[in-house]
């Protein structure tokens, strides 16, 4: 019998615990409780089930077993893995395609309500591809860039163009290995073709194409999505935001936008500020409209507009349980079907908007970027009309302030200033050992593990070890809820060297870099660190690690794989989709070995699945220290730092005047 967990075991977040207690009291089902009731299939979870044809499903339970067609465990695991990676790449990239079409429509004056907000980024990106920019109107440049980007999806030969933005050495390596993606859709389709019954049956050869498919995501579809979002909605820069369910308002119409694409949510933000809509809300008896986000939509509008985040993936049901949400407006990805049934217990309307996503029982108001503002207003009116149906509410009071908005452009600026924006200070801090290394902590919540615990634990431990942390996706929201994304709030938990750097530059120790497609920003940061000099000439030489401690989505696997292809060491927590049976004969399956040691030999990056958080930390620090040693940098020694910056000033301030003088001038006087 699966174990029923306590509230504390289900989530590290007090707001979640409060709502889960309420759900239990009301007898309402949530993903947390369904995860307790439904044990995962141990054969499927280990990657040992093949259901690619009608002879199966073949469930292989012993080392050496094969499917009816003769497929081995290694082949089946490789096929399952590449299919997940292809689905993840498809999701990110299809999002990128829609953004490119929106850019095209904006350039041609056909998209109501949108404009080109960041002309500087448009010009910088266009110039990278030799699109003429001088003397041209932003719309002309945008039209050419949109055409180029749209073409990347259906391109048959050549290379997906954003790959030219990788370090030169990396590009050469990809060419040598034959993994430069030719066209985004082509690689995804080929992944499906190769895994049809009776096609590619050499696991290494299958996974070779997994790398190419993943590069088409990170250095293709995702990068396109991030570029176009910045061009249309503005490149993020730090601003003040809030996170957790306490952002919902008792006296206002609460509308939550949930999903991933910023095209609709940005328009809902604009519509919510329209005087006509505000009046409409007031006429309905509310003080106004309060907008908030869940999942990566939350990150998109939090980073750019400071709209609060109601929570991460596992908060979607909990938000409805407050009884205070008039409408949850969803577009694509990470939306639970369970929302509709859950919402039946309250007045909340679930509104689907994407032509690609409908949920039985939900209200569908289809979004079309050509009439975006009109549709956004229509959606808000539905929510406002629903305000009168609100019953009893139960809004947890937990909310935390945060400062998101660390695009790579902003980090560059913060480190060097307007006229000499540069990654030099970051590289110098790493070289000196003030910063031991960098960790990107990303990815989902998974109801099979305690919500947020792994994200927060791993983040806290690494900060103590002077590792600078950058975050995206639901991981960033977990840190936001825990107060790490606010400079002073997190600093007493930070190691001495990193603390000095954060104080000197004025940044929090954890940098929120955006949504999951914005992991492409991390690729750009890593590239800029390489190009700045002093830390080797390719990403695999950097003392950097990527972690997805609570992953669950196929997109996370795609992200992990393109990070490996780019040279990073990536560790996933939680479940291991290529583990094989627990009683397997060898220490690791052939696939586990291949994506770790095998990929490291080929690309300098490796992928591992590790459940124990302390082991994740150990491996992360071991890797960072090894990379430091390989670069000839001094070994990490925290005792060398912490004698400057704000900490030192506070210490001096506490001394009597004479002693303070002696401390400051004494050494010099001698």
For ligand NFS, the binding residues in 108-137 under the rule CB under 6 A are none
CB of 556 to ligand NFS, least distance (A): 6
* Residue 93 and residue 184 in contact, taking contact as beta carbons nearer than 8 Å: yes
Looking at beta carbons only, is 208 or 455 nearer to ligand NFS?
A: 455
* Residue 203 and residue 78 in contact, taking contact as beta carbons nearer than 8 Å: yes
32 lies in the binding site for ligand NFS (CB under 6 A): no
To which residue do tokens 């990403």 refer? 539
* Residue 486 and residue 400 in contact, taking contact as beta carbons nearer than 8 Å: yes
82 lies in the binding site for ligand NFS (CB under 6 A): no
Using CA atoms, how far apart are residues 357 and 367, in angstroms rounded to an integer?
A: 11
Looking at beta carbons only, is 334 or 485 nearer to ligand NFS?
A: 334
CB of 218 to ligand NFS, least distance (A): 13
CB of 189 to ligand NFS, least distance (A): 22
The one segment of 172-180, 550-558, 576-584, 654-662 that binds ligand NFS by CB under 6 A: 550-558
For ligand NFS, the binding residues in 331-390 under the rule CB under 6 A are 334
Looking at beta carbons only, is 170 or 555 nearer to ligand NFS?
A: 555
CB of 295 to ligand NFS, least distance (A): 3
604 lies in the binding site for ligand NFS (CB under 6 A): no
User: How far is residue 442 from each of residues 86, 193, 563, 609, measured CA to CA in Å?
Assistant: 19, 30, 12, 14
555 lies in the binding site for ligand NFS (CB under 6 A): yes
Using CA atoms, how far apart are residues 12 and 645, in angstroms rounded to an integer?
A: 33
Q: Name the DSSP class of 332.
A: S
Q: Which helix (H) or strand (E) holds 59?
A: strand 58-59
CA triplet 449, 454, 458: central angle to 5 degrees?
A: 165
142 lies in the binding site for ligand NFS (CB under 6 A): no
Structure tokens belonging to residue 306? 């400071």
Looking at beta carbons only, is 335 or 530 nearer to ligand NFS?
A: 335
The one segment of 273-281, 322-330, 489-497, 548-556 that binds ligand NFS by CB under 6 A: 548-556
443 lies in the binding site for ligand NFS (CB under 6 A): yes
3-state secondary structure of 291: strand
Q: How would DSSP label each residue in 571-616?
A: EE-S--TT---TT-SSSS-HHHHIIIIIHHHHHS-EEEE---HHHH
295 lies in the binding site for ligand NFS (CB under 6 A): yes
473 lies in the binding site for ligand NFS (CB under 6 A): yes
Looking at beta carbons only, is 431 or 516 nearer to ligand NFS?
A: 516
Nearest to 579 by CA among 1, 200, 81: 81
523 lies in the binding site for ligand NFS (CB under 6 A): no
CB of 553 to ligand NFS, least distance (A): 4
The one segment of 242-250, 486-494, 549-557, 569-577 that binds ligand NFS by CB under 6 A: 549-557
* Residue 82 and residue 213 in contact, taking contact as beta carbons nearer than 8 Å: yes
Among 174, 280, 313, 406, binds ligand NFS (CB under 6 A): 313
Using CA atoms, how far apart are residues 637 and 195, in angstroms rounded to an integer?
A: 49
Q: Measured in whole angstroms, how far is the alpha carbon of residue 496 from the centre of its chain?
A: 28
Q: Measured in whole angstroms, how far is the alpha carbon of residue 640 from the centre of its chain?
A: 34
Looking at beta carbons only, is 208 or 260 nearer to ligand NFS?
A: 260
The one segment of 49-57, 361-369, 408-416, 553-561 that binds ligand NFS by CB under 6 A: 553-561
Using CA atoms, how far apart are residues 545 and 19, in angstroms rounded to an integer?
A: 34
Looking at beta carbons only, is 312 or 479 nearer to ligand NFS?
A: 312
Residues that bind ligand NFS (CB under 6 A): 260, 295-296, 312-313, 334, 443-444, 473-474, 515-516, 553, 555-556
């Amino acid at each position: 019998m699966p174990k029923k967990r306590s509230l504390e075991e289900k989530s590290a977040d007090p707001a979640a615990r409060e709502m889960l207690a309420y759900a239990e009291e009301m007898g309402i089902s949530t993903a947390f409780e369904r995860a307790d009731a439904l044990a995962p299939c141990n054969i499927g979870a280990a990657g040992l089930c093949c259901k690619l044809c009608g002879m199966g499903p073949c469930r292989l339970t012993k080392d050496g077993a094969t499917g009816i067609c003769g497929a081995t465990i290694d082949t089946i695991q490789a096929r399952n893995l590449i299919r997940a990676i292809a689905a993840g790449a498809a999701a990110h990239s299809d999002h990128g395609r829609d953004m490119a079409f929106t850019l095209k429509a904006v350039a041609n004056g056909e998209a109501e309500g949108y404009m080109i907000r960041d002309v500087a980024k448009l010009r910088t990106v266009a110039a990278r591809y030799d699109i003429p920019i001088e003397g041209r109107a932003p719309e002309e440049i945008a039209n050419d860039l949109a055409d180029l980007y749209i073409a990347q999806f259906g391109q048959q030969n050549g290379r997906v163009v954003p790959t030219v933005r990788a370090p030169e050495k990396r590009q050469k390596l990809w060419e040598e290995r034959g993994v430069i993606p030719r066209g985004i859709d082509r690689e995804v389709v080929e992944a499906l073709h190769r895994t049809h019954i009776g096609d590619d049956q050499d696991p290494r050869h299958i996974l070779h194409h997994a790398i190419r498919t993943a590069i088409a995501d990170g250095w293709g579809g995702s990068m396109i999505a991030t570029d176009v979002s910045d061009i249309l909605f503005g490149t993020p820069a730090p601003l003040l935001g809030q996170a957790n369910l306490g952002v919902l308002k008792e006296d206002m119409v609460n509308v939550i936008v949930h999903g991933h694409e910023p095209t609709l949510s940005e328009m809902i933000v604009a519509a919510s500020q329209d005087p006509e809509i505000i009046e409409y809300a007031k006429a309905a008896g509310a003080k106004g409209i309060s907008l908030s986000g869940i999942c990566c939509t939350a990150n998109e509008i939090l980073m750019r507009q400071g709209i609060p985040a109601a929570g991460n993936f596992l908060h979607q049901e909990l938000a409805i349980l407050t009884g205070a949400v008039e409408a949850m407006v969803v577009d694509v990805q990470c939306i639970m079907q369970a929302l509709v049934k859950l919402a039946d217990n309250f007045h909340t309307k679930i509104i689907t908007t994407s032509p690609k996503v409908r949920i039985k029982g939900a209200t569908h108001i289809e979004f079309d970027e050509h009439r975006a503002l009109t549709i956004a207003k229509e959606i808000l009116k539905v929510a406002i009309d629903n305000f009168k149906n609100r019953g009893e509410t139960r809004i947890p009071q937990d909310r935390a302030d945060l400062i998101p908005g660390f695009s790579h452009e902003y980090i560059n600026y913060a480190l060097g200033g307007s006229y000499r924006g540069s990654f030099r200070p970051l590289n110098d801090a790493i070289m000196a050992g003030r910063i031991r290394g960098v960790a990107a902590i990303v990815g989902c919540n998974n109801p099979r593990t305690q919500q947020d615990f792994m994200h927060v634990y791993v983040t806290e431990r690494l900060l103590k070890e002077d590792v600078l942390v950058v975050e995206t996706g639901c991981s960033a929201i977990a840190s936001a809820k825990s107060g790490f994304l606010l400079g002073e709030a997190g600093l007493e938990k930070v190691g001495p060297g990193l603390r000095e750097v954060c104080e000197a530059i004025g940044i929090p120790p954890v940098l929120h870099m955006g949504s999951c497609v914005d992991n492409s920003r991390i690729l750009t940061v890593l590239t800029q660190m390489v190009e700045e000099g002093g830390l080797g000439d390719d990403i695999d030489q950097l003392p950097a690690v990527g972690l997805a401690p609570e992953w669950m989505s196929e997109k996370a696997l795609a992200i992990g794989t393109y990070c490996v292809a780019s040279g990073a060491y990536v560790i996933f927590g939680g479940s291991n989709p290529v583990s094989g049976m627990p009683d397997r004969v060898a220490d690791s399956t052939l696939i586990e070995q291949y994506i770790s040691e095998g990929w490291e030999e080929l690309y300098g990056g490796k992928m591992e699945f590790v459940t124990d958080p302390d082991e994740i930390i150990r491996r992360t620090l071991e890797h960072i220290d090894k990379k430091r040693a390989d670069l000839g940098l001094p070994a990490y020694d925290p005792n060398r730092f912490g004698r400057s910056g704000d900490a030192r000033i506070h210490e001096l301030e506490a001394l009597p005047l004479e002693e303070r003088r002696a401390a400051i001038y004494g050494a010099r006087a001698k």
